[in-house]
Every structure is written in structure tokens, then in C-alpha cells.
Structure 1
């Protein structure tokens, strides 16, 4: 027994000596040095290192580190998109209402299910979810609860990091819409205050949710109605407003209207216009439907939104005859490719470097406004929770608390 006890004592002593030696080595590493090391590590191993020590957890969880890591790895995710699929178009191999879609393979690369844990609403309500937008790896989703009799409110809003599988349910907004709608939303990241913000417009009132303060606040700036989805870039939200472009400064929380577009009026030649973000700039897309032509313009700089009274200038970077003499819309996918979606759901991929077009597989069915560029990130939000999913989407059944049976989620 004494020999066995002595072996244990020696083993424990050796372990303690190794631990002290490791601590001595660690003490010579500054936080700046650890940051340089962490920035070079792959995503999943980096997540596991958060449990090693409190100091590592603090470094890796900080917004400043997450932003630096995102800047280093953004190009690796250039081909990835997050999409929201309608209920009628969910297939057995597609396990959820939200998925990641890769451009290079033109297929779903990962099924994400939903931004809340299984059983949160006692049923699947993906058909009543709305993808608002994404910025810096955080995704904003609105879930409609109006068909659930047990619900105490009509909408829930989540900020979701699909890469870390965490999400946060936001507090209820303060401004009610007397017409029963949910208003319109724009979501983005304030790069100055490192704050994820959600702006909500209801009639002539706008309110902003701040993830740093976890509150909604009504702002003084008069909202400007938009006729397209908001797109986030460099701390601004951009959207079409009639024949001009509008912006929202996420840091100053003010609306900026009357920004000149490359096409002043939409006549028979330029029959539709939309904006998106690509190549680290705002891109205007004009489509000549009858001729099947598309023109792409890039905003020369952001002085027009940063400084008052400066007129926007645009450069035409592409004019291409796609040869689609029917209704379609264009979604910019990566830095050199975009996808066209016709009204019957067919899709064509166009590479503006090679000038080649490729047919894209029919599934998943993509709706306009349900497609956003996505880059995985380490950003975390205070109060977020781990999302737990076990069963496939198709194995879930609607609860009796929902009206209308299998059609309860139809808009």
C-alpha cells in the first residue's frame, strides 16, 4: 500500500510541476501575442479554446477580436449564402427552414433548422419566419406567432449566430402598428460602438434596438419608406426609395434620403432597379426585362452618406445580355458571380469574369428577399442561449394550439 501511495504522490507532484512550468510559460505571453496566435487558428478549434481559461474566453468572446477574425477569414466564405425556404419546398434531405447554400457546388451545404431550440413553440413554425438580414455573421429573423392561439404576442425577433449555434430572443418593441402589421426592418453592425442594431419603421415612427443596451428606443430622425430590402455595409443600411437611394447611419441613428442612383428614372429602357452589396461596395442592378439585359453599377465611395451635400457618383462595371426575355431578378452572389431567378423559379448563374452562364439546380426554391450573403463569425451577444435541435424538420407536427392545420403557416 505504501508503494502504491508513493507512486500516486510522485505522479501528483510531477503533474503539479508541469502545471507550474506551463503557468510560467503562459505568464510570458501577453494578450496581444495570444490574439496574434488565435487569429491564425481554424474556427472550430478556436471555439473549444474558450473553455481553457477565463482570459482566453474574454479575448475570444470580445467584439474587437471577433471583428479582426472576421476580416481575416471573410474571403474563405465568399461562396456562401444563407437562404430561407418556404414550407412547401422543404424536402426530406433539407432538414430545416434555414440553410447555407454554396455557390461553387450550387447546393445546400448545411441545414440550420431555426434560431430557437426545438420545442420552443411546441411545433414547427418555419413557414412563418422572415429572414430580415445578416451582418458580421449574425442573422436577424422575425417569427410570426399570429396563428398560435397560446401566443401572448404576434412576433418574436431573434439575433442568431448559426456558426456558434447560439441565439438571443429580443425584448418586445415599444411601437405598435394599428394596422396589425409588423413594420419593416433593417439590421446591421455599428462598427464604431461594436453594436448590432435593428431599426424598425412603422408609419412615420422609427425605433432602434441596441444589442449593447438590450433596449428599443424611439429615435428623432424621421423615417424614409423604402421599396427594397435593406443591405448592410460599413455601418450603414442601404435601400431603394422610389427613384433614389436611402441610407441609415447605424451609429448616429439618422436617415439619409435623396441619394442619386445611376438611373434617374425607370423608363422602358431600365425597367427595374435594385441594390445590393458586393466587392465591399454598394452595387446598383438595373434590368431591362424585355431584352434580358442587366447593367451593374458600383458606388464610387461613401462620401455621399458620410458628408452632407455630396452627390453620389457611380461607375458602370458590367453590361451583359443574359438572353432571358421574361421577368427575372438578380441576386449578387459573390465578388464575380451573380444568380438570376426567373418568375417560375428557374435559376441561371452568371460569371462576369468568364462571361459564362450555368443552369442552377431547382432546389431550394428561393424567394426574393429571402437570400443574403453569409460569413461565419465568432460574434456573441450577451444573453444568447445555445440552440438545441435533434429531430428533422419533416418529423415535426403542428400543435393543436395552431389554427388551420397544415395550412396554418401560410401568409
Structure 2
């Protein structure tokens, strides 16, 4: 029987629609497939086909034994939380030469995560295992500084990824808001002068300085110190400028009730956790104040510990979140508990993040997990 061979163009179209995990495995099929799947243009085309890219939740799990050794775990949050097959463990990640015991997620963009490991930045692709450490900024080294915000995003105009720091120089006396950023492409830091307005961190319960990347900008919940109002500070990565977005008209920030930003359903969402319920406001049209809509008012009294910090929506519309350190929880928008699983995941969201699987690489030299640093 004559062997039937598919045209190379058809093979490419098929591979473009396969999940990342399968493509990494298929690199071993033959040299031509290895070359194709390793090609940056193939990776970019694959990422643009959203159907082939699975969104996953990654978190730092702390062992109960002492000394506690952190492990990275990822799950498909559309699967059951109790499904161990959906929860591979990344062990011995970035250990140099001892385990990092202080780990925070500070941003997510195009399949990459920005981590802070004992005060050191690291950009990591969990799908491929490639990572890059970012050396400290020489601009702020040695200064008395207070970091208000950190974040990570992509500038399509230069095909570059930026690590962004927003801070105040205490020695200046006026506490002006300053920004510096690290360009992955040029492997260097650059400082931006004082901004026209002064932005400060919102000091609410378990507040995080991590940013949310959307529409080419990194966003943080902030206080506009000059106007004494709460806003969403936004750093545009193409314009390299800091501005702000108004909060919903009827939204009130209380220092003793946690308020925080999330990217849910592909939109900017403002969450407010009260004593008895969780409110979620969605900005349905970006930067249009009138488009803020209260989409969820969810009672939380039936949930474990009575705390719930949403992380992501599932395809069926349920919400996955954490209760600030003990477990992952899945519930519906009416507050009905669907699933929960005990993990020592750390604080409210700072050790949990969502990323989209990708084959994308950084425009610089990177290392693979397990290589010496």
C-alpha cells in the first residue's frame, strides 16, 4: 500500500492548532519538526491562534515540612481542582544555591511571568522553562526609595518586554513619583523623570504592588495624592507615560476592606471584598468611565474561612480564587461552593497568577530550568 504524505503546508496548519504541551513533545519527531516548532515566527503565529493556547493558573505551594520548600504548581483552572493529572509540579526552579523562600508574582504577559525571588526579578515562561534574571536597577540602587508598584508588559511598537518600577525617592523631599523600566531587548534600565501627578499605593488589607497588563498598559489601584482620590494608575508601554483611569461612580474604597484589580474575562475588573460579600465591577469599554458595570455581588459566608480573592473565570462562568493562604476555591457567581483544595498558596494573589501557554521566547539570551546561574 502506497504511503500517503501530507503537504508540508497542511502539516504546519495542523501543528499551529495543537496545544503547547503536545508541540514540545513533537520536537523529537524529526529535525524538520524541531526546526519548525523552534522558529520564533511559528511561535508568534501559534500564540495568535487563541484556540491553541490554554490558560493556566500557577501558584507557589509551600510544603508543611520544615524547612518549608516552595514548589511551583500549574493547573488548568477549567479542570477539577482535585485532578492531580492537571497539576504537574515544578521542582528545584531557580535554586541558586539555596531555595528561594520569598516568592511573589508581579505580572503576566504573553505566556511570561514576572517573579520576584528574594528581591531579584526573574522573567519566566512556565511552558518552555526558559527564564531570565533581571539585574537590579542602578538608577535606584543606594537611594532611600519606596516602591509603590511593579509590573511587566509588552510593547508591540518595539517588540520588547518591559519590567516597570514606580517609586518615590525619599531624599528628594517632595516624594515625586518616578518610573524606571528594564528593557529585555536592550538588557538595560532607563529612568523616566518625575510624573505630573503623584501616585501612591492603596494601603488596604493584603494589598499587592503587582500590575495587571491590558491594552498595552500596566494597571494598579492607586491614590492620586495631588487630588486625594482613588484611581487606577496606568503606565502605557509604548508612550512610556503614566496616567490614570477613574473608578466607578458609586464605588467606594475603604482602607479596611480589600480592593484590588484583576483581568477577568479579558477586561479590567475592580474587586471589593466586604465583610459578607464580594463585589466585582467590570470596565466593559476600556477607559470609558460610564462603561463600569457591577457584574457580581456574591455572598461569601458559605466559603471556607469567609474570605475569597478571585483569580480567574472558568469557561463555564465560575470563579476560581484563593482564601488568602490556605486553599484554592471554585464557586459560582452566587457564592455556592463547588470545589476547594488545600494548598499553602501564600497571600491573597501575590503567590498566584494566570498565564497563557506559549512557545514565545524573549529577545535575549535565556536559560532553561536546571541550568547553573
TM-score range, shorter chain: 0.7 to 0.9
Q: Which residue of 1 aligns with 2:43?
A: 66
Report the Cα offset of residue 320 of structure 1.
Answer: 2.3
Instruction: Indicate conservation of the 8 Å contact 1:293/1:322, yes or no.
Output: yes
Deviation, 1:40, is 2.5
Task: Select the structure that is richer in helix.
Answer: 1
Aligned to 1:151: none
Q: 1:85 to 1:42 in 2, by over 3 A?
A: closer
Q: CA-atom RMSD, angstroms?
A: 3.6
Q: Does 1:199 align with 2:173?
A: no
- 1:301 is the counterpart of 2:285: yes
TM-score with structure 2 setting the length: 0.75
TM-score (norm 1): 0.69
* C-alpha contact 2:57 2:75 (8 A) present in aligned 1: yes
* Distance change >3 Å, CA 225–CA 112, structure 1 → 2: farther
Distance 1:89 1:389 in 2: 27
Aligned residues: 334
Alpha-carbon deviations, 1:322-345, whole Å to 9, x = none?
A: 325976242232242224544673
Counterpart in the other structure of 2:343: 363
1:242-321 alignment, distance < 5 Å: 242=223, 243-266=230-253, 271-289=257-275, 292-302=276-286, 304=287, 311=289, 313-321=291-299
Q: 1:210 aligns with which of 179, 183, 190?
A: 183
| Alpha carbons 1:298, 1:317 under 8 Å: kept | yes
Q: Is the 8 A contact 2:69 2:99 kept in 1?
A: no
In 1, the alpha carbon distance for the partners of 2:356 and 2:65 equals: 23
SS state of the match for residue 136, structure 2?
Answer: coil
| Contact kept in structure 2, 1:159 and 1:168, CA below 8 Å | yes
Report the CA distance between 1:279 and its aligned residue.
1.1
> Equivalent residue for 1:105?
80
CA drift of 1:73 comes to 4.3
Residue 19 of structure 1 corresponds to none
Sort the Cα spacing of 1:90 and 1:136 in 2 relative to 1 into closer, same or farther, 3 A. farther
Correspondence for 1:163: 127
**8 A contact 2:103–2:351 mirrored in 1:** no
Match of 1:190 among 155, 162, 167: 155
- Asked whether the equivalents of residues 226 and 246 of structure 1 are also in contact (C-alpha less than 8 Å), the reply is no
TM-superposition CA deviations, 1:344-374 (whole Å, max 9, x none): 735542123x863224122233421211112
- How does 1:89-100 map onto structure 2 within 5 Å? 89=64, 96-100=70-74
Aligned to 2:217, which of 215, 232, 236? 236
Aligned to 1:40: 17
Counterpart CA distance in 2 for 1:102 and 1:364 is: 18
Aligned to 2:226: none
- For the structure 1 residues 259 and 137, does the alpha-carbon distance in structure 2 shift closer, same or farther, using more than 3 Å as the test? same
Which of the residues 92, 97, 121 maps onto 1:122? 97
Alpha-carbon distance in structure 1 between the residues aligned to 2:123 and 2:254: 39
Unaligned runs of 5+ in 2: 169-176, 203-207, 224-229
Q: Distance in 2 between matches of 1:351 and 1:233?
A: 25
Structure 1 stretches lacking a partner, 5+ long: 1-21, 145-154, 305-309, 391-411
CA displacement, residues 193-246 of structure 1 (integer Å, 9 cap, x when unaligned): 332111012313211111122211112362733334311123211111132211
Which whole-Å CA distance do the structure 1 matches of 2:249 and 2:54 have between them?
A: 30
2:63 matched to 1:84? no
Q: Which residue of 1 aligns with 2:173?
A: none
Secondary structure at the aligned position of 1:85 is classed as strand
Q: Tell me if structure 1 keeps the 8 A contact 2:59–2:74.
A: yes
